[in-house]
Amino acid sequence: MNSSKNKDFCWFKIDENISCARFIDRNEDRFELEFNLERGTCFNTFFVIDETQLVIIHPPESAYKKLFLKCISEILDHSNIHSVNIITGHINPKIIESLKTTLTQINNLTITCSNPGFKLIKELWKQKKPNGNEISIDMPKINVIKKDTTISCKKIELQLMPAPTARWPGGLIVYEPKQEILFSEKIFSAHIASEKWSENNRMSTENDRKYFYECLMAPMSSQITSLTEKVSGLEIKTIAPIHGPAIEYSLKSFINDYVRWGENLSHNNPKIVLIYASAYGNTASIGDALAKGINRTAVEVESINCEFSSNEKLVQSIKKADGYLIGSPTLGGHAPTPIISALGTLLSEGDKNKPVGIFGSFGWSGEAIDLLESKLKDGGFQFSFDPIRIKFSPNKPKIKELEETGTHFGRKILKLSNKKTRKLDTGMISSKTNPTLQALGRVIGSLCVLTVSKGEADNKITGAMLASWVSQASFSPPGISIAVAKDRSVESLLQKGDKFALNILSENNFKDSLKQFTKPFAPGEDRFSNVATEQTPNGQIIINDSLAWLDASVQERMECGDHWVIYAEVNYGNVLKQKDLTAVHHRKSGSNY
């Protein structure tokens, strides 16, 4: 495969008729939840040339519009193109801005989209920026796809499949049967700033793709699973998503993983319905962070975009739910009409004895959030947390706080449902008298406090947890393993490449640390209030009362039941109290800490 590269752009010629323009952004200072692995991102736009027609699949956002127009211009200058057809399913204000700019440069342009996508385009096309400096541009010809459709050109055949989800209602998957390429849009994506057309192997991107799934796909897992099963029947040699490198290895295994990840979200667990509308994606980002925190507790989240869901579907979901979340942007001082309608449905069909939470983003006011709060309060509903109000989009510390809020909400749902967060799959009775569990409890570990510091200034995030499932794992290089429960807030800060400190406690002086780090923390609360600390050479947090400390970097993660096992290489360390012995955690049962 031929390619040309520079710092921010790659061009890949896939075959005689199909090419890919990859717009690369290595910026690691991201606010959105799914960028927390900090490997940058890329946006893939595909160009299909069929004699006199150019078909563009996935136009990029406005940040890349100059490069995008340059790509189109070079194609038009070296071919006999008479018409341009842009196929788009991922639609937001930045995509619309890019389309408008393209329209000023190209005649005979058609946009192909799904029916929900057409609705989004019409709404966003009319919206004006606050400064009012936009040039008014009429909408081009729109080709609306209402069901699976084939676009047959002279050399190329493109099969279009509407793929609506709560997060991306306009979703549109494209399949090219000659080269057996699936242009999968957001599904199967990963945020990686890659200059290579395809990944080296499955293992090289598995963590990134799983993380993307957990952040964005999990709240709508049933929809994603159905779409995955649908495309699994196609003959596929290459999956070309909208973000990240293409996938050409172990495709069947990868598709099966996507189905398995969805099935692992047990439908027997308590369920929260998350209802929202999101004009610019900010409110949806808040909902994503809440959902990720909830999913840590094994509570299932069903995400519903009320702009594109029937009232019948909404009623069914509300009646089955064990708790409710509802979020809205404020547009022109008001809540969008679909939110007002959904609020009325929740008030009439919801159970007032079940927990509720509200959230929303705004630019210059927050009347929509006030409306949700007053109506639900008057309706007798009980709030599990204070209304979440965020101006524009949340920064990284706020995202972490939102995740913690979601985890607290999920734990409350579990408690009310009389279900335990951690379930044993051994078939044994979780009894203090069970001899197997008593024996398991005799496996001991050193008592430690794991601390994490990440980012700088306004984007600095810190975290901590009490840890006793700790063991040395290797001599060369020196390494340790630590088990971290999935519902721990600090877990999201322990991805591959992240650094942390392990503060090993002294048997003569561990009670203060035990008291400090076993108490429940409110979302966003400072874990190190009134704790004397210093820093490791890597800027990690040392608790001064520790017996010893280690500074380590996460190398591998393995999912083990209700925990993640972290393997980390040790970078630095020191013993602060040479004469003391390590505090050890003795347990009577292996069914709990």
Per-residue pLDDT at 136: 77
Question: Three-state DSSP class for 441?
Answer: coil
Is residue 153 within 8 Å of 82, Cβ to Cβ? Answer: no
Mean per-residue pLDDT over the chain, rounded? 90
Residue 253 domain flag:
no
> Which residues constitute the domain of residue 560?
435-585
- Residue-level pLDDT at 29: 56
Provide the whole-model pTM.
Answer: 0.87
Q: Are 480 and 550 in contact (CB under 8 A)?
A: yes
25-40: average pLDDT: 76
Residues 165 and 32 in one domain: yes
Q: In the beta sheet, which residues pair with residue 482?
A: 470, 566
Is the same domain home to 161 and 119? yes
Predicted confidence at residue 458, as pLDDT, reads 84
Same domain, 444 and 360: no
Query: Are 104 and 234 in a shared domain?
Result: yes
DSSP letter for each residue of 347-364: HHHS-TTS-EEEEEEESS
Is residue 39 pLDDT above 80, yes or no?
yes
- Indicate the number of domains in the chain: 3
Q: What is the CATH number of the domain that holds 513?
A: 2.30.110.10
Percent of the chain with pLDDT over 70: 94
Average pLDDT over residues 74-81: 88
State whether 190 and 316 are in the same domain.
no
Is a pLDDT exceeding 70 seen at residue 5?
no
The verdict on 351 and 488 lying in the same domain is: no
**Same domain, residue pair 356 and 318:** yes
Looking at the domain assignment, is residue 263 inside a domain?
no
Q: What is the pLDDT of residue 421?
A: 42
Cα 585 from Cα 128, distance rounded (Å): 61
Instruction: Please state which of the ranges 29-38, 331-340, 491-500 shows the lowest mean pLDDT.
Output: 29-38
- Say if 210 falls within a structural domain: yes
pLDDT at 31 over 70: no
* Cα gap 157→537, rounded to integer Å: 58
Predicted confidence (pLDDT) per residue in 342-393, tens digit? 999 999 999 999 999 999 999 888 899 999 999 999 999 999 999 999 998 8
Q: Quick check: 279 and 336 in contact, CB under 8 A?
A: yes
Cα distance between residue 26 and residue 45, in whole Å: 17
Do 57 and 113 lie in one domain? The reply is yes
Please identify, among 416, 447, 478, the residue that sits at the C-terminal boundary of a domain. Answer: 416
Which residue has better confidence, 520 or 10?
A: 10
CB 565 within 8 A of CB 483: yes
Mean pLDDT check: name the lowest of 8-22, 259-273, 321-335: 259-273
Same domain as 478, residue 449 = yes
pLDDT of 138 higher than 50: yes
pLDDT of residue 266: 61
What is the predicted pLDDT for the residue at 457?
Answer: 85
Q: Cβ neighbours of residue 332 under 8 Å, at least 6 residues apart?
A: none
pLDDT band at residue 28 under the 50/70/90 scheme: low
Q: What CATH number does the domain containing 184 carry? A: 3.60.15.10
What number of CA atoms fall less than 13 Å from residue 120's CA on the CB side? 30
Within a domain: residue 259? no
Say whether both 570 and 497 belong to one domain. Answer: yes
In a domain, 257, yes or no: no
Q: What is the rounded radius of gyration, in angstroms, for the C-alpha atoms of the chain?
A: 26
Q: What is the pLDDT of residue 425?
A: 45
Cis peptide before 477 (omega within 30 of 0): yes
- For the stretch 425-466, pLDDT in tens is 444 445 667 888 889 989 999 999 999 999 888 889 999 999
3-state SS class at 543 = strand
The whole-angstrom separation of Cα 426 and Cα 24 is: 46
- Kindly state whether residue 262 falls inside one of the protein's structural domains: no
Q: Provide the phi-psi class of 457: left if phi over 0, else alpha when psi is between -120 and 50, else beta.
A: left
354 lies in some domain: yes
Q: Is the pLDDT of residue 420 over 50?
A: no
Cβ-contact 335, 285 below 8 angstroms = no
Classify residue 20: in a domain, yes or no. Answer: yes
- Determine how β-strand 584-585 pairs with β-strand 445-446: antiparallel
590-593's contacts with Cβ under 8 Å and 24+ in sequence apart are: 590/436, 590/437, 590/438, 590/439, 590/440, 590/441, 590/443, 591/424, 591/430, 591/431, 591/432, 591/434, 591/437, 591/440, 591/441, 592/422, 593/468
Instruction: Specify the CATH number for the domain of residue 320.
Output: 3.40.50.360
Give the highest mean pLDDT range of 77-86, 332-341, 583-592.
332-341
Are residue 211 and residue 314 in the same domain, yes or no?
no
Q: Are residues 474 and 529 in the same domain?
A: yes
Q: Where are the extended beta strands (E) located within 115-180?
A: 141-145, 149-152, 157-162, 172-176
Per residue in 182-215, pLDDT tens? 999 999 999 999 999 998 887 888 889 999 999 9
> Could you tell me the pLDDT band of residue 237, with boundaries at 50, 70 and 90?
very high
